[in-house]
Homo-oligomer: A and B are copies of this chain.
Amino acid sequence: MTQLEYAKSNKLTSLMRSIAKQEGINPGVLLRNIKNGSVVILKNASRALKRPCAIGRGLSTKINANIGTSTDKCSIKDELKKLDICIKYGADAVMDLSVGRGLKEMRLQVVKKSPLPVGTVPVYELAVNAQKYKNNLLSFDYLDMLDILESQGKEGVDFFTIHAGVTKKSLKSLKASKRILDIVSRGGAILASWIEFHKKENPFFEYFDRVLDIAYKYDVVLSLGDGMRPGSILDANDKAQFVELKILGELALRARRRNVQVMIEGPGHVPLNKIKENITLEKRLCHNAPFYVLGPLVTDIASGYDHVSASIGGALAASFGADFLCYVTPAEHLRHPSLSDVREGVIASKISAHAADIVKGNKRAIDHDRQISLSRKSRNWQKQIKLSVDPDKAKEYRVSSRPLDSEVCTMCGNYCPIKLAGVVHR
């Protein structure tokens, strides 16, 4: 039975209890939200997982970090180092987006080594195998698809991104649009190409019930991917995107009816004034399914600093109700990320999630800010560093620049306003 199925029969599972404890919320509220679909728990039923993670209404905002090989950068060892960085700096989930050689070996390692839930985009394995064995990345059919889903589910993958909304219908909207960048989703581009090449409907859409069978079997959460997400802020919130979102909403209902947990993926590149509409529409069209946004980037010009652009959009999105933020690294649009890119991406995303949690009313988040501010007031540097989002970096900065008076820092030195004001006022 899936967690959703248990919730529907009002059975509080031990997993729900531990999640409720971890989040500091009432287990009954959690159960109700799993039941109505506004919360999902990422944990494959067939495996042990150290740190399952729940996403959605009433919970702290979660962040995902992507790792994985590419055809150009293909070291499993390097990617596993990235996994360590993700764990160390506080990602809540990781996705293995490998498309390089040894893709399956990589996934097996990640599933084995990660204490965090692991997600994949199964169409990548389909395309990589097709390329390898048939020299055409589009040479796969729905039976191959079911095989891959079954094997990944069995291996213990906790969530699948399924681009089932890239259909003949949404493609038609795309073609009618005047977009600058047509498709920037890798899975979306593969499936759009597949539809055009085979003149058939997307197998993830056409055989969605078969997809659900497998997701149900392992309680894999389906993350309905947004293949039509905009790749430029000028393309944001267009018809193609929203036609797909409506399809995803219908699929979400079908999944829930079959007791399969589901969340929805969102953009992408969105200007500041169009973020709220995205969130509101997703919650309405997708029946309050948790919303998993990729960024969003609020400008297209920040190559080299897209973690900053994404951090702006992610904070805003989460403050309006997005539940799960996919990190973006400084390498976005430029290269396969390095270890330090991964670290910066995770931290920037955590800052967004935290800033949003404060305005979502999360008491722990608010108290965290209170504690660090109190430590600032008392010039307790050890505590201040410990409570920083990345204590390693805070410490490195502090140590690199020692003040004469150890109470202050080298920015203001003798003119530290906190010290000045503290002496005089209270």
Interchain nearest-CB distance for A332 vs B (Å): 8
A70 within 8 A of B: yes
A335 close to B413 (CB less than 8 A): no
Q: Which of A349-399 contact B (CB under 8 A)?
A: 351-352, 354-356, 358-359, 366, 368-370, 372-374, 376-377, 384-385, 387-390, 393-394, 396-398
- CB within 8 A of A192: which of B335, B354, B415, B424? B424
Say yes or no: A373 contacts B299, CB within 8 Å.
no
Output the nearest chain B residue to A344 by Cβ-Cβ distance.
B305
CB neighbours of A387 from chain B (8 A): 301
Given contacts A189-B417, A358-B272, A417-B189, contact A373 B70 (CB under 8 A): no
Contact B70 A193 (CB under 8 A): no
- Cβ of A347: which chain B residues have Cβ within 8 Å of it? 305, 308
Give Cα A299 to B385, complex, Å.
15
CB distance from A413 to the nearest CB of B (A): 3
Tell me if B308 and A376 are in contact (CB < 8 A). Answer: no
Separation of A233 and B190 alpha carbons in the complex (Å): 45
Pick the contact of A412 from B186, B232, B311, B384 — CB < 8 Å?
A: B186
Chain B neighbourhood of A414, CB < 8 A: 71, 99, 131, 137
Among A182, A334, A355, the one with the most B-chain Cβ atoms within 10 Å of its Cβ is A334
A41 at the interface (CB under 8 A from B): no
- Are B417 and A99 in touch, CB under 8 angstroms? no
On whether the beta carbons of A272 and B316 are closer than 8 Å, the reply is: yes
Within 8 Å CB of A355, what residues of B?
271-272, 298-299, 309, 312
Please indicate the chain B residues that have their CB under 8 angstroms from the CB of A72 in the complex: 401, 403-404, 410, 413
Contacts of A403 in B (CB 8 A): 72
Please name all residues of chain B whose beta carbon is closer than 8 Å to the beta carbon of A426 when the two chains form the complex. 182
Q: Which chain B residue lies CB-closest to A68? A: B411
Cα A248 to Cα B291 with chains together (Å): 43
Q: Pick from B71, B319, B373: contact of A404, CB below 8 A.
A: B71
Q: Which residues of B contact A192 (CB under 8 A)?
A: 421, 424-425
Contact check: which of B197, B352, B358, B377 meets A233 at CB < 8 Å? B358
A interface list, Cβ under 8 A from B: 70-73, 99-100, 124, 127, 131, 137, 174-175, 180-186, 188-190, 192-193, 196-197, 231-235, 271-273, 298-305, 307-309, 311-312, 315-316, 319, 330-337, 347-348, 351-352, 354-356, 358-359, 366, 368-370, 372-374, 376-377, 384-385, 387-390, 393-394, 396-398, 400-401, 403-404, 409-415, 417-418, 420-426
Known contacts A315-B272, A358-B271, A404-B72; A189 and B420 CB within 8 A of each other: yes
Cβ of A7 to closest chain B Cβ, rounded Å: 31
CA distance A228 to B421 in the complex (A): 11
Complex partner residue of A376 from B231, B319, B384, CB under 8 angstroms: B231
Q: Given the interface contacts A180-B377, A308-B308, A312-B351, does A369 sit within 8 Å of B234 by beta carbon?
A: yes
* Chain B positions within 8 Å of A376 at CB level: 181, 231-232, 300, 333
Q: A303-B388, A304-B388, A401-B335 are in contact. Are A273 and B359 (CB under 8 A)?
A: yes
Inter-subunit contact B422/A182 (CB<8 Å): yes
Q: Return chain B residues, CB-CB under 8 Å to A354.
A: 299, 301
* The 9 nearest A-B residue pairs measured at CB: A71-B413, A232-B373, A189-B417, A335-B401, A304-B393, A183-B421, A72-B410, A189-B420, A298-B355
